[in-house]
């Protein structure tokens, strides 16, 4: 554990989290959504920094996100210590978590004999507690920091990716996973969006928290007339071009987007929506 703490702290220092002022600086913490969308270097800007730069927004970003990590991990110990050490040096903290908790915990919940709804209740309760712990710790470390987050998007649409949702909530499928089984997909989506409900509840309870909602975004861009931002088509997964196998079925694609979208990738489509819903007002850009 001491080695892990040293690596985490070294990562934070290398990323610039020891800056003396927090004005218009963004801290990104959490899982691989943070590394895919907000990872980068001086030579190659991240999707987040590219989008902010496009709109003339402040784009000094510190990224301490670690792929594969969970809210359970970030709510205690060395992960939480690293986050609270970095928070005072940033005006905004984007936290992206809960997906790996669902992937780790829901299969065993299903094997215990609980229904999908019962497991969804378990996920919601656990995540509300752990995410609350994380966000409250950030606020205690830096009372002026604004915290932002979202419950991901409608994912898993890449070819062959249907096996992933069927492994998370197997109760929803009868027999083999079928990516075109609309009733099974609705059952799955009804529980997955509980992560958005966690953010909505945190937003309601804490004035320094903003919950964004991008559910249905890539479905809408794909031309699904039943979907709009914040109101997804619950009987469909995300479109295949947006959630490819090369990104593990769970991250927005980093290349290729429909003509007319105005972007070069699903990642930039997601970042444009985040800009529209949040950064534009926060930074006045």
Q: At 189, which CATH number? A: 3.40.50.1110
pLDDT at 177: 60
> Domain span at residue 42?
2-283
Q: How far are the Cα atoms of 46, 55, 104, 260, 267 from residue 43, in angstroms, in the given order?
A: 10, 19, 35, 28, 19
pLDDT at 90: 98
User: What does residue 212 show for φ and ψ, rounded to 5 degrees?
Assistant: -90, 160
- Total number of domains in the chain: 1
pLDDT at 211: 98
User: What does residue 99 show for φ and ψ, rounded to 5 degrees?
Assistant: -60, -45
| Helices marked H in the chain | 2-15, 32-38, 47-54, 71-74, 77-86, 99-111, 116-141, 163-168, 182-192, 194-205, 217-221, 266-274, 280-283
List the pLDDT tens digit at each of the 285 positions of the chain: 333 334 344 343 333 333 346 789 999 999 999 999 999 755 578 999 999 999 999 989 999 999 999 999 999 999 999 999 999 999 999 999 999 999 999 999 999 999 999 999 999 999 999 999 999 999 999 999 999 999 999 999 998 898 999 999 999 997 666 667 899 999 999 999 999 999 999 999 999 999 999 999 999 999 999 999 999 999 999 999 999 999 999 999 999 899 989 999 999 999 999 999 999 999 999
d(CA 154, CA 217): 8
| Helices marked H in 39-158 | 47-54, 71-74, 77-86, 99-111, 116-141
Q: In terms of pTM, does the model score above 0.95?
A: no
């Amino acid at each position: 554990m001491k080695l892990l703490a040293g690596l985490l702290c070294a990562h934070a220092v290398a990323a610039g989290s020891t800056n003396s002022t927090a004005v218009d600086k963004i801290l990104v913490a959490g899982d691989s959504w943070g590394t895919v969308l907000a990872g980068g270097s001086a030579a190659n800007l991240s999707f987040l920094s590219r989008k902010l730069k496009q709109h003339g927004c402040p784009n000094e970003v510190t990224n301490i996100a670690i792929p594969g990590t969970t809210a359970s991990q970030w709510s205690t110990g060395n992960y939480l210590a690293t986050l609270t050490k970095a928070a005072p040096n940033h005006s905004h903290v984007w936290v992206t978590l809960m997906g790996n908790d669902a992937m780790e915990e829901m299969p065993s919940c299903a094997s215990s004999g609980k229904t999908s709804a019962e497991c969804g209740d378990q996920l919601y309760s656990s995540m509300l507690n752990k995410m609350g712990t994380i966000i409250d710790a950030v606020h205690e470390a830096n009372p002026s920091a604004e915290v932002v987050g979202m419950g991901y998007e409608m994912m898993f649409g890449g070819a062959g990716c249907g096996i992933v949702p069927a492994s998370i909530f197997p109760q929803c499928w009868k027999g083999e996973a079928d990516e075109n089984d609309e009733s099974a997909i609705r059952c799955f989506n009804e529980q997955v969006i509980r992560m958005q409900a966690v953010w909505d509840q945190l937003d309601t309870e804490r004035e320094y928290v903003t919950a964004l909602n991008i559910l249905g975004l890539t479905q809408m861009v794909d031309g699904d007339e039943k979907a709009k931002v914040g109101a997804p088509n619950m009987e469909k997964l995300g479109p295949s071009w947006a959630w490819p196998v090369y990104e593990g079925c769970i991250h927005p694609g980093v290349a290729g987007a429909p003509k007319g979208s105005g972007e070069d990738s699903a990642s930039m489509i997601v970042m444009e929506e985040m800009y529209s819903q949040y950064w534009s007002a926060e930074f006045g850009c």
